[in-house]
Amino acid sequence: MNETANRTNLKILGNSTSAGGCFLDVKVTGECTFNGDVDCRKLTLMGETKVKGSLVMENMKLTGECSVNGGIEGESIRGQGEIRADSIHVEGIKFTGNLSISGNCDAEDMQISGAVQVGGLLSAETLEISLYGPSRAAEVGGGSIRIKRSLGGALIRPGHSGQLSFAAGLIEGDHVDLQNTAADTVRGGRVVIGSGCEIGTVEYRDFLDIHSNAVVRNQVKV
Protein backbone atom coordinates (compact mmCIF):
# COMPACT_ATOMS: atom_id res chain seq x y z
CA MET A 1 0.00 0.00 0.00
CA ASN A 2 1.26 3.39 -0.95
CA GLU A 3 0.96 5.40 2.28
CA THR A 4 1.39 8.86 0.88
CA ALA A 5 -1.57 8.85 -1.43
CA ASN A 6 -4.69 10.74 -0.48
CA ARG A 7 -7.29 8.03 -0.45
CA THR A 8 -11.05 8.09 -0.73
CA ASN A 9 -13.73 5.47 -1.08
CA LEU A 10 -15.04 4.48 -4.49
CA LYS A 11 -18.45 3.06 -5.09
CA ILE A 12 -19.64 2.05 -8.51
CA LEU A 13 -23.15 0.95 -9.35
CA GLY A 14 -24.08 -0.10 -12.83
CA ASN A 15 -21.82 0.16 -15.81
CA SER A 16 -18.79 2.38 -15.59
CA THR A 17 -15.09 2.89 -16.20
CA SER A 18 -12.44 4.33 -13.96
CA ALA A 19 -8.84 5.37 -14.47
CA GLY A 20 -7.77 3.42 -11.40
CA GLY A 21 -5.57 4.79 -8.68
CA CYS A 22 -5.34 4.64 -4.89
CA PHE A 23 -8.51 4.21 -2.86
CA LEU A 24 -9.65 3.25 0.59
CA ASP A 25 -12.55 0.91 0.02
CA VAL A 26 -13.74 0.04 -3.45
CA LYS A 27 -17.15 -1.42 -4.06
CA VAL A 28 -18.33 -2.36 -7.51
CA THR A 29 -21.81 -3.66 -8.20
CA GLY A 30 -22.26 -4.18 -11.88
CA GLU A 31 -19.64 -3.82 -14.54
CA CYS A 32 -16.51 -1.76 -14.25
CA THR A 33 -13.29 -1.38 -16.16
CA PHE A 34 -10.26 0.16 -14.48
CA ASN A 35 -7.88 1.51 -17.09
CA GLY A 36 -4.85 1.44 -14.85
CA ASP A 37 -3.42 0.08 -11.62
CA VAL A 38 -5.69 -0.20 -8.62
CA ASP A 39 -4.43 0.07 -5.07
CA CYS A 40 -7.01 -0.15 -2.30
CA ARG A 41 -7.78 -1.47 1.15
CA LYS A 42 -10.99 -3.37 0.83
CA LEU A 43 -12.25 -4.49 -2.52
CA THR A 44 -15.77 -5.80 -2.88
CA LEU A 45 -16.77 -6.84 -6.36
CA MET A 46 -20.08 -8.07 -7.60
CA GLY A 47 -20.50 -8.58 -11.28
CA GLU A 48 -17.76 -8.17 -13.82
CA THR A 49 -14.58 -6.22 -13.23
CA LYS A 50 -11.59 -5.66 -15.44
CA VAL A 51 -8.33 -4.12 -14.32
CA LYS A 52 -6.00 -3.12 -17.15
CA GLY A 53 -3.05 -2.90 -14.82
CA SER A 54 -2.09 -4.56 -11.60
CA LEU A 55 -4.17 -4.88 -8.47
CA VAL A 56 -2.95 -4.31 -4.93
CA MET A 57 -5.42 -4.64 -2.08
CA GLU A 58 -5.74 -5.90 1.45
CA ASN A 59 -8.92 -7.90 1.31
CA MET A 60 -10.84 -8.82 -1.78
CA LYS A 61 -14.28 -10.31 -1.87
CA LEU A 62 -15.57 -11.34 -5.21
CA THR A 63 -18.85 -12.57 -6.55
CA GLY A 64 -18.65 -12.80 -10.29
CA GLU A 65 -15.79 -12.30 -12.69
CA CYS A 66 -12.58 -10.42 -12.29
CA SER A 67 -9.78 -10.18 -14.80
CA VAL A 68 -6.52 -8.42 -14.12
CA ASN A 69 -3.88 -7.83 -16.79
CA GLY A 70 -1.05 -7.62 -14.30
CA GLY A 71 -0.58 -9.29 -10.95
CA ILE A 72 -2.77 -9.43 -7.87
CA GLU A 73 -1.10 -8.75 -4.55
CA GLY A 74 -2.63 -8.51 -1.11
CA GLU A 75 -3.77 -10.20 2.04
CA SER A 76 -6.76 -12.30 1.18
CA ILE A 77 -9.05 -13.28 -1.65
CA ARG A 78 -12.44 -14.81 -0.94
CA GLY A 79 -15.52 -15.44 -2.96
CA GLN A 80 -16.88 -17.29 -5.90
CA GLY A 81 -16.75 -16.87 -9.61
CA GLU A 82 -13.82 -16.52 -11.92
CA ILE A 83 -10.46 -14.82 -11.56
CA ARG A 84 -7.98 -14.27 -14.38
CA ALA A 85 -4.63 -12.68 -13.74
CA ASP A 86 -1.00 -12.73 -14.67
CA SER A 87 0.09 -13.72 -11.15
CA ILE A 88 -1.27 -13.93 -7.62
CA HIS A 89 0.73 -13.25 -4.49
CA VAL A 90 -1.42 -13.16 -1.35
CA GLU A 91 -1.59 -14.61 2.14
CA GLY A 92 -4.84 -16.52 1.85
CA ILE A 93 -7.19 -17.63 -0.87
CA LYS A 94 -10.55 -19.22 -0.22
CA PHE A 95 -12.31 -19.42 -3.50
CA THR A 96 -15.03 -21.34 -5.27
CA GLY A 97 -14.87 -21.27 -9.03
CA ASN A 98 -12.27 -20.96 -11.70
CA LEU A 99 -8.82 -19.49 -11.25
CA SER A 100 -6.70 -19.01 -14.32
CA ILE A 101 -3.24 -17.58 -13.84
CA SER A 102 -0.65 -17.32 -16.59
CA GLY A 103 2.35 -16.97 -14.24
CA ASN A 104 2.90 -17.99 -10.64
CA CYS A 105 0.25 -18.29 -7.98
CA ASP A 106 1.33 -18.30 -4.37
CA ALA A 107 -0.35 -18.01 -1.02
CA GLU A 108 0.25 -19.27 2.48
CA ASP A 109 -3.15 -20.84 2.74
CA MET A 110 -5.08 -21.79 -0.35
CA GLN A 111 -8.45 -23.51 -0.49
CA ILE A 112 -10.06 -23.85 -3.85
CA SER A 113 -13.22 -25.64 -4.89
CA GLY A 114 -13.38 -25.61 -8.63
CA ALA A 115 -10.73 -25.55 -11.29
CA VAL A 116 -7.32 -23.93 -11.51
CA GLN A 117 -5.04 -23.30 -14.47
CA VAL A 118 -1.61 -22.06 -13.47
CA GLY A 119 1.04 -21.49 -16.13
CA GLY A 120 3.93 -21.38 -13.67
CA LEU A 121 4.38 -22.44 -10.08
CA LEU A 122 1.47 -23.03 -7.76
CA SER A 123 2.89 -22.71 -4.28
CA ALA A 124 1.29 -22.66 -0.83
CA GLU A 125 1.98 -23.73 2.70
CA THR A 126 -1.32 -25.57 2.75
CA LEU A 127 -2.97 -26.18 -0.56
CA GLU A 128 -6.35 -27.81 -0.83
CA ILE A 129 -8.06 -28.22 -4.14
CA SER A 130 -11.42 -29.83 -4.53
CA LEU A 131 -11.72 -30.55 -8.22
CA TYR A 132 -14.84 -29.53 -10.08
CA GLY A 133 -13.23 -29.27 -13.49
CA PRO A 134 -10.09 -29.87 -15.50
CA SER A 135 -7.12 -28.28 -13.77
CA ARG A 136 -3.43 -27.95 -14.39
CA ALA A 137 -0.24 -26.34 -13.16
CA ALA A 138 3.30 -26.54 -14.46
CA GLU A 139 4.66 -27.06 -10.95
CA VAL A 140 3.16 -27.40 -7.51
CA GLY A 141 5.19 -26.90 -4.37
CA GLY A 142 4.54 -26.41 -0.70
CA GLY A 143 4.11 -27.85 2.75
CA SER A 144 0.90 -29.79 2.60
CA ILE A 145 -0.75 -30.45 -0.73
CA ARG A 146 -4.14 -32.09 -1.04
CA ILE A 147 -5.84 -32.50 -4.36
CA LYS A 148 -9.17 -34.25 -4.19
CA ARG A 149 -11.88 -34.94 -6.64
CA SER A 150 -15.07 -33.36 -5.43
CA LEU A 151 -17.94 -35.75 -4.99
CA GLY A 152 -20.40 -32.99 -5.70
CA GLY A 153 -18.58 -32.22 -8.93
CA ALA A 154 -19.14 -35.73 -10.18
CA LEU A 155 -22.81 -35.49 -9.27
CA ILE A 156 -23.60 -32.22 -10.98
CA ARG A 157 -21.95 -33.27 -14.22
CA PRO A 158 -22.56 -36.99 -14.54
CA GLY A 159 -20.69 -38.70 -17.30
CA HIS A 160 -17.88 -36.13 -17.26
CA SER A 161 -16.03 -37.50 -14.29
CA GLY A 162 -12.96 -37.95 -16.49
CA GLN A 163 -12.64 -34.18 -16.64
CA LEU A 164 -12.20 -33.89 -12.91
CA SER A 165 -8.47 -34.23 -13.14
CA PHE A 166 -5.37 -32.32 -12.27
CA ALA A 167 -2.33 -32.32 -14.53
CA ALA A 168 1.11 -31.17 -13.42
CA GLY A 169 4.71 -31.60 -14.43
CA LEU A 170 6.11 -31.68 -10.93
CA ILE A 171 4.55 -31.83 -7.48
CA GLU A 172 6.73 -31.36 -4.41
CA GLY A 173 5.63 -31.12 -0.80
CA ASP A 174 6.14 -32.45 2.70
CA HIS A 175 2.71 -34.03 2.73
CA VAL A 176 1.25 -34.85 -0.64
CA ASP A 177 -2.18 -36.37 -0.96
CA LEU A 178 -3.49 -36.74 -4.49
CA GLN A 179 -6.49 -38.02 -6.36
CA ASN A 180 -7.20 -38.01 -10.08
CA THR A 181 -3.85 -36.43 -10.78
CA ALA A 182 -1.53 -36.94 -13.70
CA ALA A 183 2.04 -35.85 -13.00
CA ASP A 184 5.50 -36.62 -14.33
CA THR A 185 7.18 -36.44 -10.95
CA VAL A 186 5.94 -36.34 -7.37
CA ARG A 187 8.41 -35.77 -4.54
CA GLY A 188 7.63 -35.58 -0.87
CA GLY A 189 7.95 -36.79 2.67
CA ARG A 190 4.60 -38.50 3.14
CA VAL A 191 2.99 -39.27 -0.18
CA VAL A 192 -0.46 -40.71 -0.71
CA ILE A 193 -1.38 -41.51 -4.29
CA GLY A 194 -5.13 -41.96 -4.41
CA SER A 195 -7.49 -43.37 -6.97
CA GLY A 196 -7.32 -42.28 -10.58
CA CYS A 197 -3.72 -41.03 -10.44
CA GLU A 198 -1.16 -41.51 -13.14
CA ILE A 199 2.32 -40.67 -11.96
CA GLY A 200 5.64 -41.15 -13.74
CA THR A 201 8.00 -41.19 -10.78
CA VAL A 202 7.32 -40.92 -7.07
CA GLU A 203 10.20 -40.08 -4.76
CA TYR A 204 9.34 -40.26 -1.08
CA ARG A 205 11.17 -40.04 2.21
CA ASP A 206 8.97 -41.48 4.94
CA PHE A 207 5.81 -43.03 3.66
CA LEU A 208 4.13 -43.97 0.42
CA ASP A 209 0.67 -45.34 -0.11
CA ILE A 210 -0.62 -46.16 -3.57
CA HIS A 211 -4.27 -46.86 -4.22
CA SER A 212 -4.98 -50.00 -6.19
CA ASN A 213 -6.67 -47.86 -8.82
CA ALA A 214 -3.61 -45.69 -9.44
CA VAL A 215 -0.69 -46.07 -11.83
CA VAL A 216 2.83 -45.29 -10.62
CA ARG A 217 5.58 -46.25 -13.05
CA ASN A 218 8.59 -45.72 -10.79
CA GLN A 219 8.81 -45.37 -7.06
CA VAL A 220 12.01 -44.45 -5.27
CA LYS A 221 12.63 -44.16 -1.56
CA VAL A 222 15.27 -41.56 -0.82
Contact pattern for another protein over residues 109 through 148, marking x by CB under 8 A: --------------x-x---------------xxxx----
Is residue 189 involved in binding another protein (CB under 8 A)? yes
Q: Which is nearer to another protein, 114 or 188 (CB)?
A: 188
Which residue of 33, 63, 201, 219 would you call a contact of another protein, by CB under 8 A?
201
C-alpha span between 99 and 84 (Å, rounded): 6
Q: Are 216 and 199 in contact (CB under 8 A)?
A: yes
* b/e 86-121 (16+ beta carbons within 10 angstroms → b): bbbbbbbbbbebbbbbebbbbbeebbbbbbbbbbbb
Q: Which is nearer to another protein, 43 or 145 (CB)?
A: 145
Which residue of 170, 182, 210, 216 would you call a contact of another protein, by CB under 8 A?
170
Which one of the spans 72-80, 94-102, 186-194, 209-217 is the region binding another protein (CB under 8 A)? 186-194
Q: Which is nearer to another protein, 5 or 220 (CB)?
A: 220
Question: Beta strand pairing status for 166-178 and 181-193?
Answer: parallel
* Closest distance of CB 218 from another protein, Å: 9
Using DSSP, state whether 162 is helix, strand or coil.
Answer: helix
- How many helices (H) and strands (E) are present in the chain, helices listed first? 1, 13
Is residue 187 involved in binding another protein (CB under 8 A)? yes
Nearest to 193 by CA among 37, 185, 180, 165: 180
Q: Which is nearer to another protein, 82 or 203 (CB)?
A: 203
Q: Which is nearer to another protein, 67 or 185 (CB)?
A: 185
Instruction: Give the number of residues in contact with another protein, rule: CB under 8 A.
Output: 23
Is residue 48 involved in binding another protein (CB under 8 A)? no
* Closest distance of CB 106 from another protein, Å: 5
163 burial via Cβ count (<10 Å: 0-12, 13-18, 19+): middle
Distances (CA, A) of 79 to 12, 41, 60, 215: 19, 16, 8, 35
Gap between the terminal Cα atoms of the chain: 44
Q: Which is nearer to another protein, 206 or 209 (CB)?
A: 206
Per CB under 8 A, residues contacting another protein are 89, 106, 108, 123, 125, 141-144, 169-170, 172-174, 184-185, 187-189, 200-201, 203, 222
